[in-house]
Structure 1
Amino acid sequence: MPRTLLTTRSALVFLLAILCGIGAGVLSGVAGLSTAQAVLSGAAGFGFSVPFFNALID
């Protein structure tokens, strides 16, 4: 059996963090921020979501 790149838990944490980052970026864009600001808020949402979901899913 080949070794996987990520565990299921890690993949779930990253998936949830990516979804939160996309949501934050889209909501920022809809709110009228510039594209650069929306991308930065999405990246910040992703960055803060990873440790949150890592602690939450144990």
Structure 2
Amino acid sequence: MLTLRAALVLLLAVLTGAVAGTLTYFARRSIPEALLAGGAATGGAIGLFNRLIA
């Protein structure tokens, strides 16, 4: 089980990654680039939201 804080951080990070991946796909029409951009955004957002939601 996750704590509420951990679930919120992960949810916001995944949403951020999905938006970044979608926008990258629309801009470049490349699925691999969209996946890489979404993954990188998710990783960065985890650290950001972990610090913001303390």
Q: Output the TM-score relative to the length of structure 1.
A: 0.90
Gaps of 5+ in 2: none
1:11: which partner in 2?
7
Gaps of 5+ in 1: none
Runs of 4+ residues over 6 Å off in structure 1: none
Task: Give the total of aligned pairs.
Answer: 54
Larger radius of gyration: 1
Q: Match for 1:44 among 17, 40, 51?
A: 40
Q: Which amino acid aligns with 2:8?
A: L
How far apart are residue 33 of structure 1 and its match? 4.1
**More helix, by proportion:** 2
> Cα deviation per residue 1:35-54 (whole Å; 9 max; x = unaligned)?
10000000000000001000
RMSD of aligned C-alpha atoms? Answer: 0.7
SS of 1:55's partner is helix
Once the two structures are aligned, what percentage of the paired residues are identical? 46
1:54: which partner in 2?
50
